[in-house]
């Protein structure tokens, strides 16, 4: 990507000002992508603005050259959404914004109105498939298909968009989520970082760790993993199951999980550790990473990050995991990059975890090299940021 894009008549283009709009800057895939794109814009010499209600990634955004604009865009109240539209319009005019990029439905409605009033291009990204039952929900979701460009984070997501919103088909750009292979590199993780997590999570050096890195939510498959854990724990007395993710206010569901852990006699085997700030070290600490989602994931970042760190991954055979986790028969056995199992099938999940744990050292080393090469070939951060900035440039005819 050139640092000084050239216009059609050969003149150097002035720097862009791009405004991304997202409810909060917490730790999800949409939030991480927002920061990554802001960093790429800043590195290119453009101005990267992000309007949100804040969150733990604000400091990182600012350190990478982005600018945070505090705005209450998480609200789904129609009056507040309309008020936010005029606030965003004022920002667009005052800050000379060239393009607006929305990453969630409620703020997207505000951003769409603002962009149209200000006469600037509007881009959306589908980070999720979104439930769609009834005409009202379809209308609410439709804002994400109204962009001048509609970015889908996987082929699976693009298929969902085409089936629900056929008019958007010609405006879809498939740009898979990118992974920072400098951060997610086994060679760059010092042993003391892994040791710090062992201490914090009460995991002994000889324990075998199964890691589920996801927010505490019924759709992420925690109950299915606990059902599989009951049998696995009988066969391996050093097996520990780590649930790394925020509760996000779901105290009732967390209480259900605690009760299930107690009922299954797994209290000494299960760790709920909350948000993990050092995921590369967490992935290296784990022997197997699981993503037993009960609804289709539109990308599945955990599988790709695990692959980058050379760790075995077991995921549900739904959604975009078919794009990020390869297994026979679609590839040869020696090209496997993980295991996919039927969603909600605790027995199949347990069998796949056991198979991953059973790999000997040489097989595991071959697997690690293969999975990292696979991620490098398809899911790099530079590919994602370059393609996204290319969408911006095309819309602005740079």
The model's confidence at residue 1, banded by pLDDT at 50, 70 and 90, is very low
Stretch 85-109: mean pLDDT: 97
Task: Say whether pLDDT at 9 is over 70.
Answer: no
Measured CA to CA, the distance from residue 112 to residue 118 in angstroms comes to: 10
Total residue count of the chain as it appears in this document: 398
Contact 17, 97 (CB under 8 A): yes
Task: Say whether pLDDT at 10 is over 60.
Answer: no
Specify the pLDDT at position 18: 98
Instruction: Taking each helix axis as running N to C, give the angle between helix 301-308 and helix 361-378, from 0 to 180 degrees, rounded to the nearest 10.
Output: 120
Percent of the chain at pLDDT > 90 equals 87
Task: Say whether pLDDT at 373 is over 50.
Answer: yes
Measured CA to CA, the distance from residue 62 to residue 388 in angstroms comes to: 20
Contact 288, 356 (CB under 8 A): yes
Specify the pLDDT at position 398: 62
Q: What is the pLDDT of residues 216-263, one digit of tens each?
A: 999 999 999 999 999 999 999 999 999 999 988 888 999 999 999 999
Q: What is the pLDDT of residues 139-158, one digit of tens each?
A: 999 999 999 999 999 999 99
Nearest to 250 by CA among 222, 219, 217, 299: 217
Task: Look at the alpha carbons of 103, 109, 115, 116 in this order and tell me if their dihedral is positive or negative.
Answer: positive
Q: What is the pLDDT of residues 257-297, one digit of tens each?
A: 999 999 999 999 999 999 999 999 999 999 999 999 999 99
Task: Say whether pLDDT at 27 is over 80.
Answer: no
Measured CA to CA, the distance from residue 232 to residue 210 in angstroms comes to: 11
The kind and range of the H/E element at 255 are helix 251-263
Strands 47-52 and 208-213: unpaired
Domain 186-378 class? alpha beta
Domain-by-domain residue ranges, the chain? 17-178+380-395, 186-378
Specify the pLDDT at position 6: 45
Straight-line distance from the first to the last Cα atom of the chain, in angstroms, rounded to the nearest whole number: 12
Burial degree of 303 (CB within 10 A; 0-12, 13-18, 19+): buried
Nearest to 102 by CA among 194, 165, 203, 33: 33
Specify the pLDDT at position 382: 95
Measured CA to CA, the distance from residue 231 to residue 236 in angstroms comes to: 9
Measured CA to CA, the distance from residue 162 to residue 27 in angstroms comes to: 28
Task: Say whether pLDDT at 39 is over 60.
Answer: yes
The model's confidence at residue 129, banded by pLDDT at 50, 70 and 90, is confident
Nearest to 48 by CA among 28, 69, 30, 32: 69
The model's confidence at residue 397, banded by pLDDT at 50, 70 and 90, is confident
Q: What is the pLDDT of residues 309-330, one digit of tens each?
A: 999 999 999 999 999 999 999 9
Stretch 374-380: mean pLDDT: 95
0.85 exceeded by the pTM? yes
- Statement: 17-178+380-395 belongs to CATH 1.10.760.10: no
């Amino acid at each position: 990507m050139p640092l000084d894009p050239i216009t059609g008549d050969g003149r150097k283009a002035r720097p862009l000002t791009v405004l991304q709009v997202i409810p909060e800057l917490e730790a999800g895939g949409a939030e991480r992508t927002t920061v990554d794109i802001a960093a790429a814009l800043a590195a290119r010499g453009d101005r990267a603005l992000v309007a949100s209600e804040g969150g733990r990634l604000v400091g990182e955004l600012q350190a990478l050259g982005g600018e945070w604009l505090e705005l209450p865009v998480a609200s789904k109240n129609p009056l507040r959404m309309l008020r936010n539209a005029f606030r965003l319009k004022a920002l667009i005019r005052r800050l000379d914004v060239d393009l607006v990029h929305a990453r969630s439905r409620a703020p997207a409605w505000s951003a769409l109105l603002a962009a149209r009033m200000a006469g600037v291009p509007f881009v959306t990204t589908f980070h999720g498939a979104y439930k769609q039952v009834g005409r009202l929900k379809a209308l609410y979701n439709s804002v994400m298909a109204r962009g001048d460009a509609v970015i889908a984070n996987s082929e699976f997501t693009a298929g969902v968009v085409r089936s629900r919103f056929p008019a958007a088909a010609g405006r879809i750009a498939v740009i898979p989520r990118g992974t920072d292979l400098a951060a997610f590199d086994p060679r760059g993780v010092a042993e003391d970082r892994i040791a710090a997590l062992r201490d914090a999570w009460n995991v002994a050096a000889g324990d075998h760790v199964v890691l589920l890195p996801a927010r505490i939510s019924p759709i992420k498959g925690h109950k299915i993993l606990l059902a599989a854990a009951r049998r696995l724990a009988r066969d391996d007395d050093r097996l520990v199951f780590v649930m790394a993710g925020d509760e996000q206010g779901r105290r009732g569901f967390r209480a259900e999980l605690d009760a299930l852990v107690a009922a299954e006699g797994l209290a000494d085997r299960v760790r709920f550790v909350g948000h993990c700030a050092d995921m590369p070290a967490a992935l290296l600490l784990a022997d197997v990473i699981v993503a037993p989602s009960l609804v289709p994931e539109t990308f599945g970042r955990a599988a790709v990050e695990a692959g980058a760190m050379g760790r075995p991954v077991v995921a549900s055979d739904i959604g975009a995991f078919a794009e990020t986790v390869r297994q026979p028969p679609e590839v040869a056995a020696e090209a496997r990059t993980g295991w996919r199992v039927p969603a909600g099938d605790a027995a199949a999940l347990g069998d796949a975890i056991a198979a991953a744990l059973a790999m000997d050292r040489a097989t595991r080393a071959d697997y690690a090299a293969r999975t990292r090469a696979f991620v490098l070939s398809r899911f790099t951060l530079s590919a994602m940021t370059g393609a996204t900035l290319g969408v911006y440039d095309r819309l602005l005819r740079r």
